[in-house]
């Protein structure tokens, strides 16, 4: 059965975009301002360092978005989303799942494991579950669990990224999947968003562009490093969590490590995400290959405004080009 974005979701979007959940970067403010500007804002549940803090964050996001809609019923307020690590090493999995049940975020994004239990709970209240995948075998397994959407994390994405070309990946997935499809990997401007749609994606998944948002948790040093870096300054390694991810080489050196001497982490371990000793995540910073396009720190609403202008201009160009082709025949 085809699973597409519900009409009430689509009607509240200014752009078909999810601001990707980024560990130690995505803040409640980033989520709220993103949703108020018409894109799906999200954050990893583990960004809230305790369940008590998480409970407060989820309540705050719910209430502020409700108030914004009440103040201006005609404005578009996009749904919000959370990301939960379903890997067995996530010590907070059960507690965080109960807070999902309590606060009912419209979208739940699962990572690194079987999403079945999450699907059962979220579907009970009418929410959607998206599962991020980096391999075709993972996509096929996730598709069989009842998820509503697959997030294809392709070559060039920040964080835990895959190595498959987006054209190849989405083409292969579309052979067996007719549900919601989200494309991730080096999507940084309005033209990229439109290109993702042209490939068959329902939504674009953007992370790196929002690290440099004023509302993100990223430090000033992190944001400055983004502005100064290019994709040649990235390294793809599994040394820190056991899962390959893209990191800024300069941040690794600044942490006192040699990027050329990193050792493979033998087992996947997400427990560090919930650890007070999270140096590998606080001091070693991630980015995607679209880092070249990060030129300044700006508020979320300005970033989305720029994306919308780029998207509209590209669409107008393509429409005009198509009209010219048709008229010349």
User: What is the pLDDT, as a whole number, of residue 185?
Assistant: 94
Please give the model's pTM, rounded to 2 decimal places.
Answer: 0.93
User: What is the pLDDT, as a whole number, of residue 278?
Assistant: 45
Q: What is the DSSP letter of 101?
A: H
Q: pLDDT grade, residue 275 (50/70/90)? A: very low
Asked if residue 323 has pLDDT above 90, the reply is no
User: How many CB atoms within 10 Å of residue 57?
Assistant: 20
Q: Please, are residues 317 and 324 in contact by the beta-carbon 8 Å criterion?
A: no
User: How many CB atoms within 10 Å of residue 133?
Assistant: 25
Mean pLDDT over residues 252-261, rounded? 88
Name the segment(s) of the chain with CATH classification 3.20.20.70.
7-218+301-328
CATH 1.20.1260.10 fits domain 7-218+301-328: no
User: What is the pLDDT, as a whole number, of residue 1?
Assistant: 33
Mean pLDDT over residues 214-225, rounded? 96
Q: Please, are residues 25 and 48 in contact by the beta-carbon 8 Å criterion?
A: no
Residues 6+ apart with CB under 8 A from 74: none
Mean pLDDT over residues 201-216, rounded? 97
Q: pLDDT grade, residue 151 (50/70/90)? A: very high
| Phi and psi angles of residue 59, each rounded to the nearest 5 degrees, phi first | -65, -45
Instruction: Identify the H or E element spanning 181.
Output: strand 180-184
Q: pLDDT grade, residue 276 (50/70/90)? A: very low
Mean pLDDT over residues 100-108, rounded? 98
Mean pLDDT over residues 209-221, rounded? 96
């Amino acid at each position: 059965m085809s699973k597409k974005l519900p009409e009430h979701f689509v009607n509240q979007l200014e752009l078909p975009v999810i601001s990707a959940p980024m560990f130690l970067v995505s803040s409640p403010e980033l989520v709220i301002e993103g949703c108020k500007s018409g894109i799906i804002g999200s954050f990893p549940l583990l960004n809230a360092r305790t369940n008590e803090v998480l409970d407060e964050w989820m309540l705050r996001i719910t209430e502020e978005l409700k108030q914004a809609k009440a103040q201006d019923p005609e404005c578009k307020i996009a749904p919000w989303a959370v990301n939960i690590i379903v890997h067995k090493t996530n010590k907070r999995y059960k507690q965080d799942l109960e807070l999902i049940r309590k606060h009912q975020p419209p979208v739940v994004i699962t990572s690194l494991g079987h999403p079945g239990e999450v699907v059962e709970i979220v579907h009970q209240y009418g929410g959607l579950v998206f599962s991020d995948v980096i391999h075709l075998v993972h996509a096929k397994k996730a598709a069989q669990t009842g998820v509503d959407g697959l997030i294809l994390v392709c070559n060039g994405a920040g964080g835990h990224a895959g190595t498959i070309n987006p054209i190849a990946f989405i083409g292969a997935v579309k052979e067996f999947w007719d549900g919601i499809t989200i494309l991730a990997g080096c999507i940084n401007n309005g033209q990229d968003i439109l290109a993702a749609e042209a490939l068959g994606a329902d939504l674009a998944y953007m992370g790196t562009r929002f690290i440099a948002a004023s509302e993100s948790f990223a430090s000033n040093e992190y944001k400055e490093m983004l502005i100064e870096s290019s994709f040649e300054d990235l390294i793809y390694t599994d040394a820190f969590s056991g899962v390959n991810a893209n990191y800024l080489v300069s941040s690794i050196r600044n942490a006192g490590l040699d990027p050329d001497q990193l050792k493979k982490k033998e087992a996947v371990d997400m427990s560090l995400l919930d650890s007070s000793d999270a140096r590998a995540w606080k001091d070693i910073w991630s980015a995607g290959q679209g880092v070249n396009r990060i030129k300044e720190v700006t508020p979320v609403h300005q970033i989305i405004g720029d994306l919308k202008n780029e998207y509209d201009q590209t669409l107008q160009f393509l429409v005009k080009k198509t009209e010219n082709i048709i008229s010349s025949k």
